[in-house]
Amino acid sequence: LRLIVKKPRLLNIIINEDDNFRDTVHKKYGLLNGLPQIGITHLVPNFNETINHYAFLDGGSSPLDIALLKQLAKKFKIKSYLEIGT
């Protein structure tokens, strides 16, 4: 606990552990192996995106997150959006 008090961001490692989410989904929805997964091309066929001027911060969105948001915005003709990370 002392370490978490000194570095609260370490709590995210525990909270974001896949097993925690899998247990919650199993209990709430009865899906033993967690939520089903799909490939990114099921959402955006021919996925291809370039990201310019990207700075990575711990806990923020990954380049793939940003690329997917850009592609979905194009697909649904959304002109502007705000992505705030976690």
- What is the tens place of the pLDDT at every residue in 4-18? 888 888 887 777 777
- What is the tens place of the pLDDT at every residue in 36-59? 889 999 999 999 999 998 887 777
pTM: 0.63
49, 67 contact by CB (below 8 A): yes
Using alpha carbons, list the distances in angstroms from residue 52 to 40, 44, 46, 67, 76: 21, 20, 20, 10, 21
Q: Can you say how many angstroms the Cα of residue 46 is from the centroid of all Cα atoms in its chain?
A: 20
pLDDT for 79 beyond 90: yes
pLDDT for 85 beyond 80: no
DSSP 10-25: HHHHHHT-HHHHHHHH
Give the pLDDT confidence score for residue 38 in this predicted structure. 93
